[in-house]
Amino acid sequence: MAIDTRGEAADRPSKPTGRPAKKRTSPALFYRQIVAELRKVIWPTRKDLISYTTIVLVFVLVMVGIVAGVDALLTKGVLAIFG
């Protein structure tokens, strides 16, 4: 037998009733809201963008090298074992 330990909160319904459904916004209002949010964004400077791009490219090249190296070692191992 389960015991309800939530107290009075368990007696309330999970969703309030009698609340009107939300209305859809117009495409124009939606677009204005998008533009307003994009104006809040702090865009990176050219210097930041170049440094971030360089870091990502170096990281990707290092990871490609590691994966290629592991793949080559596993290939040689499998060929040595199974001929």
Q: How far apart are the first and last CA of the chain?
A: 64
Contacting residues for 33 by C-beta, under 8 A, at least 6 apart: 25
Host domain of residue 59? 44-83
Q: Is 20 part of a structural domain of the chain?
A: no
Pair of tokens at residue 44: 């990176």
Q: Is 28 part of a structural domain of the chain?
A: no
pTM to 2 decimals?
0.54
Model confidence pLDDT, tens digit, residues 25-45: 899 999 999 999 999 999 999
The pLDDT confidence band at residue 4, using thresholds 50, 70 and 90, is: low
**Residue 2 scores a pLDDT above 70:** no
Q: Is 82 part of a structural domain of the chain?
A: yes
Number of domains in the chain: 1
